[in-house]
Amino acid sequence: MKQKSISIFIVSAILVFVLIACGDSESEGTVVETNDAEANITEQAVNETAEESTSSVHSIADSSEAYFDEEGNMISQDEADEEPETQPQIEFLDIVIADEGRTTERPLFTPVALKVGQKIASPTLPGGLTVLFAEVLEDSRCPIGSECPAAGKVVIRTELASNVTPLGELVLTIEDGQEGPTIKKVSRYSAVFISLEPHPVEGETIDPSEYVAVIAVIK
């Protein structure tokens, strides 16, 4: 009887061990299957995201309404079609010829054609800005009738004064092909270098006394 009980106990223990082993195997299988399923879902999501990104990039690149600014930011077509604001142009009065033998007094924004040694005072001689056209330092503009590899420029030297008080020299430059005059701030006013004539011609020499600089004073 005792031997039979021992046999039953051993068989029961073996059955329990087998059941536990089967349960662990099924659990491992379930975990593996779950991990595989999660991996498949993750891979599918990554692929879908990549496809959406690629599609988005192609749609932007292929779209005729996609524009980018200088920093690489996408802007709308309406913004791209907008023209940049232009700076307001200075409205000058009619050009006048400088008075011979004395300083030419003219209102602000009045261009005055000065020969070397002549002066403009604007708006008045006592309280305004006086500009003397002293000399031409450089005239490397491309002569008419010739081809030049690089653009030149004109450089003039002026002498400034206010209320008969010297303010020193001011060098003004206009680059060949420059749009608009050269403006330099001087105290309350600004000296404006508008043009220099005559323009060089191939094979001809310009005497310094022939130069005429158009200068104005603005505020």
User: How far is 120 from 30, CA to CA, in rounded Å?
Assistant: 99
Model confidence over 168-180: pLDDT tens digits?
999 999 999 899 9
Model confidence over 95-113: pLDDT tens digits?
999 999 999 999 999 999 9
* 219 residues of the chain, pLDDT tens digit each: 545 555 666 656 666 555 665 554 444 444 445 455 555 555 565 455 555 544 444 444 444 444 444 445 554 545 444 444 444 589 999 999 999 999 999 999 999 999 999 999 999 998 899 999 999 999 999 999 999 999 899 999 999 999 889 999 999 999 998 999 999 999 899 999 999 999 999 999 999 999 999 999 999
Three-state DSSP at 187 gives coil
Q: How many CB atoms within 10 Å of residue 136?
A: 17
Three-state DSSP at 131 gives strand
Q: How many CB atoms within 10 Å of residue 125?
A: 19
- Phi, psi dihedrals of residue 102, rounded to the nearest 5°: -155, 170
pTM of the model: 0.61
131 close to 158: Cβ distance less than 8 angstroms:
yes
Query: Cα–Cα distances in Å, from 68 out to 53, 64, 75, 76, 174?
Result: 18, 12, 6, 8, 34
Give the residue among 80, 117, 85, 71 at the shortest CA–CA distance from 98: 117
